[in-house]
Amino acid sequence: MQAEGVLHVVGALQVLVAVEDNAGVALEGDEAEGATISSHMEPRHHSRMVPTRVSPLHHSREHLHSPGYQVRHRVILFLVLIILIIILLLLLTPLMQVFHLWITPISLLPPVVCQLCFSPGHSALYCSRYTTSHTPALAALPTGENNDSVWYPDSGASAHMSPHEGILSYKTPHTGPNQVCIANGTKLPISHVGHLKLLTHGRPLNLNSVYHVPHIKYNLLSIQKLCADNACQVFFDKNSFLVKDKQMGELLLQAVNKDHVYFFHALQTRVVPGLVWHKRLGHCGDRILTRLRQHKLISNCSSFNNDCVSCKLGKSHRLPFSDVTHDTTAPLQLIYYDVWQSPVLSNLGFK
């Protein structure tokens, strides 16, 4: 709407200029006609003189070059220029306000600092140290699958290994000289040795002599130990790892391939605290629980620390003495006296 108003103002000014020009040309034409008429009204002895009529085009050119017309023309152009400048300022003011609102928050933001090289001016995505390649090593296994229920089949492992002590049952401290040697030659100590059962769709798989190695990150399943302890056979293909029963051919376990590594989620039995077995067996002693564990009559039982509150309260013969609130240092500082009387008065008023 403001642009249309500008066009209307410019058009009106042009019309005014054209009207003034036409008026000036018409005035000069009338003067020329008056001069011609006066020349015809002169005495006849002047009839020999032929009057010269000036063309209107000549008058218009002279009018354009006249000083008065040029001054008026410059004033009008100056006014038009001022009006255009005012209109442009009115149009640009909202845009400048929007630009100011948009640019102000950006100027208040802290400078971008790279998280890789800690240099300002760029982010980690555009840093020269950023790389998308994956190192083909055991440490590059998917970190999102690092929990106690995920196992990785390993044909090069001579024993089952786990960093999670809580999933093992019948565990005993490892006292032998054996250590776990990893690919780079580093030797890792073994903390405990225990057993574990993996629950499958068919029968459970027994994992015997599982090493608890605190310094590894993942559960490793020894292929040789698995086949030797469970009479099963394994099959590898492009996308999966299969464990089948050797006699019946029943599928027991299936592992999937992700990032060129086979892994599977195992449903494994949990270790029951010794306190739970203590309560199940009628609050028996620690010696009985130990013998039951040794003969494998109870499974997945941890050690019992004899911290049963019910047993302590039941075996207490009397209430404990209350805390002493006073202290005496000399005889007769504290005198005990008894004012006991019969709690029921007799009918005759005797006590």
In this predicted model, what pLDDT tens digit does every residue of 90-116 receive, in sequence order? 877 766 665 555 555 555 557 788 877
Note whether 66 and 100 are same-domain residues. Answer: yes
Domain that holds residue 13: 2-40+56-104
For the chain, the domain total comes to 3
Catalytic annotation present for 245? no
Do 196 and 299 lie in one domain? The reply is no
Boundary-marking domain end, from 268, 290, 306 = 268
The answer to whether position 47 is within a domain reads: no
Q: 180 with 262, same domain? A: yes
* Angle in degrees, 0-180, between the axes of helices 2-40 and 56-64, rounded to the nearest 10: 130
* H/E run at residue 15: helix 2-40
Most confident of 10-14, 46-50, 155-159: 155-159
pLDDT classification of 139: cutoffs 50, 70, 90:
very low
Are 264 and 282 members of one domain? Answer: no
Task: Please tell me which residue, 208 or 57, carries the higher pLDDT value.
Answer: 208
350 found inside a domain: no
264 near 151, Cβ under 8 Å? Answer: yes
pLDDT in tens, 142-185: 444 446 678 899 888 889 999 988 788 778 888 888 888 888 88
Backbone angles phi, psi at 152, to 5 degrees: -115, 115
Give domain status of residue 46, yes or no: no
The answer to whether residue 176 is domain-embedded is yes
| Same domain? 242 vs 163 | yes
DSSP label of 29:
H
Is the domain of 152 the same as that of 233? yes
C-alpha–C-alpha distance, residues 67 and 130, integer Å? 76
**Which residues 6+ apart lie within 8 Å of 137 measured at CB?**
183
Alpha-carbon distances of 327 from 303, 332, 333, 337, rounded to whole Å: 44, 12, 9, 18
Contacts of 64 (CB under 8 A, 6+ apart): 21
302 & 255 share domain: no
Active-site residue, selected from the candidate residues 148, 154, 229, 323: 154
> Are 292 and 225 found together in one domain?
no
Residue 73 lies in a domain: yes
| CA 202/CA 223 separation, integer angstroms | 19
Strands 205-212 and 161-162: parallel
In contact, 36 and 54? CB cutoff 8 Å:
no
Task: Establish if 188 belongs to a structural domain.
Answer: yes
Flag whether 125 is in a domain.
no
Specify whether 168 is located in the same domain as 239. yes
| In a shared domain, residues 188 and 214 | yes
pLDDT tens sequence across 204-251? 888 888 999 988 988 999 999 999 888 899 998 888 888 888 888 888
Q: Tell whether 187 and 283 lie within a shared domain.
A: no
> What is the phi/psi pair of residue 125, to 5°?
-65, -30
Let me know if residue 133 belongs to a domain.
Answer: no
Whole-prediction pTM: 0.40
Distance (Å, whole) CA 189 – CA 305: 27
Residues 91 and 186 reside in one and the same domain: no
What per-residue confidence (pLDDT) applies to 40?
44
Half-sphere exposure of 241 (CA within 13 A, CB side): 17
